[in-house]
Amino acid sequence: MREVRGDPDHPVNKGKLCAKGALLGQVFDTGDRLLTPMVRDRKGAHTRVTGWDEAIDRVADAIRRNVAEHGPDSVMLYGSGQLPTEDYYLFGKLAKGFIGTNNQDTNSRLCMASAVAAYNLAFGADAPPASYEDIESADTFLILGANVEACHPILFDRIKARKRADRDGVKVIVVDPRRTRTAEIADIHLPVLPGTDVALLLSLLFEVRLAGGIDERFIEEHTSGWAEIERALKGWSAERASSVTGLDAQDIVDAARIIATNGPMLSLWTMGANQSTSGVDKNLALINLSLATGNIGKPGAGPFSLTGQPNAMGGRECGGLATTLPGHRLVADAGHRTEVEGAWGLAPGSISDRPGLTAIEMVEALERDEVRVVWIAATNPVASLPNAPRVRAALQRAELVVVQDAYYPTETGRIADVLLPAAQWSERPGTMTNSERRICLLEQIGEAPGTALPDWQIICRVAEALGHGDDFDYADTEAIFDEYRELTRGRDLDITGVSYDVLRQSAGGVQWPHPEGAVLGAAAEEPSSPRLFGDGRFPTPDGRARFHAPGYRKPAEILSDEYPLALLTGRVKDQWHTMTRTGKVPKLMRSEHEPFLEMHPDDAGHLGVADRQLVLVTSRRGSLQLRARVTDAIRSGAVFAPFHWGELWNRHAVTNAATSEATDARSKQPELKFAAVRVEPVAAVAA
């Protein structure tokens, strides 16, 4: 067992750790670490232990044969925001540059895709402008669809401390259908009807305008598209929004008054905004609110989408999505493709102009037998994608499923044809970028067990077996970083002034941009800055931020007599995703030892459900059994279940058996926060 302690000098957490972090030392020597490569000789057979050579050959042979017979798009690589940037970058270089397919997507599709699309539309780049230090100078917090207390507990401590320092001056508005612990510190909690945030945000801007909170000068000098917004706001008074959102009109007016009059506003949001068929519109509406009130580019202000995974941001930078290339470039842009081909020493036209498949599209393509080889690294899609049983069945059709993970079994590993043992955090070096654009170097401090290898080395071995050894010949991760860094030169996220040495000298990482010549710890006006857009210039063609008018739409699934309740899904404080690590730490299991369904006493009473009773939850796709937790902390009409427990824990209690794969049209992010369900009691009250 290793001991994990916080670094008191780190600028982000000042040495504080959440329970998951503090207990992380317990996850390295578990009995289920994947120690050697394993293969299955046929579908459904037992695994057989093998060496790296056979495993790598099997992967490379399948890729080579399928590319020859069915074309490069028969291959798909599915990665994760838990890969270091170097490994993430190489995964993309192999897929997009050398296999010749843009079918490289990531679990960030389930997480950050809506924010990426909105920042690109509004600012011309995927550039979140604020920093954590803005928490200490914000007077107004608008927290929407984020349970910061459970999911970003160290940040939550900073928000609470800010509130405590000036109880009357600092105002907190929380928008969540549930009265979470985050909502408990709010001056105004707005328990919106699930999926109706766009209506609320339109109305907040409408009422902010009435209250005189519009920064006309900022709009005039630094933005375009305001006329479109004025049209979109028509009719969105608090009264009208009240009937759509289920909120008290006076609460909307009060929240708008705070935004209009109370000094710098930091808006923070996460999955309650992104995981929606209106995800991009929710993000745009949040950004619009900041732009219209001039809450951007100054201390304590900004639209600030929080990332979830440790390196969700790094993946966005290095081109980890099916639509992106390294250095905030786009697959769809011919000039961008040419630049990346040049950097990779490829002939013009080598990078395909066909858009790659996103996560949900991958499942559909598997069902049509168009994708035949899937290589999955650092994610567990059979547990984390919506409609998980469908995902399992689709993957089982593939000729070859490769799963590269630190543990076996996992829900996805169970159906893999080839299992590749990966080193994990602390067992390999690499860089990661957090929500505030801060790049940190995570040094290797221990050895990986068995013959497990860092992800980047596995990728290089497959590349070599495919005949690309010369293009994937790196001495270490620093050499990969240096190559990737060149691809940021002159881009909005320019990090040509960053190196492993600079990262080691820095006090806890460097925020981008940090071009060559930038000074560590520079002031806000310098190119290396904790805050973007301080000069009011944006990386759009005309240098202005662009307003895009959002439109309110209902969630994809319709509530009906048969499926009358909205199932929301999310997280609990002491578990991490599919529990491959936190599920092995007894102390973490104690706080929530089983999944549950939160429901309002009115709904429970109406359905004859008692607290702690087992209930059957059924959607149009599947059903599961959970223990009811009757509480008025959720609004009636909605029910909530955590998604952590997959089929390895209890195959009758898999939340993602019920969730919906409907996606936002622009971001392709699935609506994991809204499935129409019915709930019925199945057993007597537990003792």
Ligand X SMILES: Nc1nc2c(c(=O)[nH]1)N[C@H]1C(S)=C(S)[C@@H](COP(=O)(O)OP(=O)(O)OC[C@H]3O[C@@H](n4cnc5c(=O)[nH]c(N)nc54)[C@H](O)[C@@H]3O)O[C@H]1N2
Question: What residues line the site for ligand X (CB under 6 A)?
Answer: 80, 82, 107, 110-111, 144-147, 150-151, 175-178, 180, 192, 194-195, 197, 270-272, 275, 308-309, 377-381, 383-384, 404-407, 410, 422, 424, 455, 568-571, 573, 575-578, 580, 640, 643, 655-656, 659, 672-673
Give the shortest CB-566-to-ligand X separation in angstroms: 8
- Residue 424's binding partner, choosing from Mo ion, ligand X, none, with beta-carbon cut-off 5 to 8 A by kind? ligand X
Of the pair 92, 315, the CB lying nearest Mo ion is at: 315
- Answer for the pair 85, 481: CB distance below 8 angstroms, yes or no: yes
Radius of gyration in angstroms for the set of CA atoms belonging to the chain, rounded to a whole number: 24
Only segment of 165-173, 244-252, 307-315, 466-474 that touches Mo ion (CB under 5 A): 307-315
Rank residues 145 and 303 by Cβ distance to ligand X and give the closer one.
145
268 alpha carbon, distance to own chain's centre: 14
C-beta of 152 vs 390, nearer to Mo ion = 152
Quote the least distance from Cβ 189 to ligand X, whole Å.
Answer: 11
Nearer CB in complex with ligand X: 360/545: 360
What is the CA angle 13-16-18, rounded to 5?
A: 105
Give me the residue whose beta carbon is nearest to ligand X.
308
* Whole-number Å distance between alpha carbons of 112 and 118: 10
Going from the C-alpha of 343 to that of each of 235, 327, 336, 340, 347, the distances in angstroms are 52, 12, 11, 5, 11
- The Cα 540–Cα 532 span in angstroms is 14
In terms of CB distance, is 86 or 254 closer to ligand X?
Answer: 86
Do the Cβ atoms of 419 and 380 come closer than 8 Å?
Answer: no
Query: Which residue, 233 or 572, has its beta carbon nearer to Mo ion?
Result: 572
The residue among 538 and 643 lying less far from ligand X, judged by its C-beta, is 643
User: Do the Cβ atoms of 307 and 273 come closer than 8 Å?
Assistant: no
CB of 437 to ligand X, least distance (A): 17
Question: Which one of ligand X, Mo ion, none interacts with residue 422, CB within 5 to 8 A by kind?
Answer: ligand X
Nearer to Mo ion by Cβ, of 308 and 555: the residue is: 308
Q: Which of 442, 422, 445, 439 is nearest to 430 (CA)?
A: 442
Rounded CA-CA distance 129/454 in Å is: 32
Q: Which does 405 bind (CB under 5 to 8 A by kind): Mo ion, ligand X, none?
A: ligand X
Q: Which two tokens stand for residue 492?
A: 């909005």
**Residue 573 and residue 492: Cα distance in Å, rounded?**
35
Q: Which one of the spans 148-156, 302-310, 326-334, 584-592 is the region binding Mo ion (CB under 5 A)? A: 302-310
403 DSSP β-pair partners = 376, 419
The option from ligand X, Mo ion, none interacting with 301 (CB < 5 to 8 A, set by class) reads none
- Is 272 near Mo ion (CB under 5 A)? no
Q: Which of 153, 308, 497, 515 binds Mo ion (CB under 5 A)?
A: 308
Min dist CB 346 to Mo ion, Å, is: 32
Letter for the amino acid at 359? Answer: A
**Least distance from ligand X to the Cβ atom of residue 223, Å:** 25
* Closest distance to ligand X from the beta carbon of 635 (Å): 10
Q: 549: how many CB neighbours lie within 10 A of its CB?
A: 18
At its nearest, how many Å lie between ligand X and the CB of residue 523? 31
Q: Which does 118 bind (CB under 5 to 8 A by kind): Mo ion, ligand X, none?
A: none
Q: How far is the CB of 26 from ligand X (least distance, A)?
A: 14
Q: Nearer to Mo ion by C-beta: 111 or 346?
A: 111
With CB cut-offs between 5 and 8 Å by kind, which of Mo ion, ligand X, none does residue 439 bind?
none
Which tokens go with 84?
A: 């270091």
Rounded to whole angstroms, how far apart are CA atoms 124 and 196? 27
CB nearer to ligand X: pick between 100 and 583: 583
Instruction: Give the distance, in angstroms, between the CA of residue 115 and the centroid of all CA atoms in the same chain.
Output: 9
431 binds, among Mo ion, ligand X, none (CB under 5 to 8 A by kind): none
CA distance 245 to 241: 6
190 in contact with Mo ion (CB under 5 A):
no
Per-residue tokens: 415: 């159906």
In the structure encoding, which two tokens stand for residue 426, read together? 């602390």
Least distance in angstroms from the C-beta of 220 to ligand X: 31
Identify which of 292, 219, 306, 301 has the alpha carbon closest to the alpha carbon of residue 256: 292
Residue 276 tokens, joined: 């929606």
Q: What are phi and psi of 364, to 5 degrees?
A: -65, -40
Given ligand X, Mo ion, none, residue 506, with its beta carbon under 5 to 8 Å by kind, binds: none
Which among ligand X, Mo ion, none contacts residue 618 (Cβ within 5 to 8 A by kind)? none
Q: How far is CA 73 from CA 322, 347, 356, 396, 460, in A?
A: 12, 19, 8, 18, 20
- Answer for which of 111, 313, 331, 628 binds Mo ion (CB under 5 A) is 111
| 219/432 with CB nearer ligand X | 432
Torsion angle in degrees (nearest 10) through CA of 642, 644, 649, 654: 60
Among 135-143, 303-311, 365-373, 546-554, the segment contacting Mo ion (CB under 5 A): 303-311
223 binds, among ligand X, Mo ion, none (CB under 5 to 8 A by kind): none
Q: In the chain, what is the straight-line distance between the N-terminal and C-terminal CA atoms, in Å?
A: 37
User: 272 vs 497, which CB is nearer to ligand X?
Assistant: 272
The CA distances from residue 321 to 77, 447, 493, 662, in Å, are 10, 30, 17, 19
Binding site for Mo ion (CB under 5 A): 111, 308
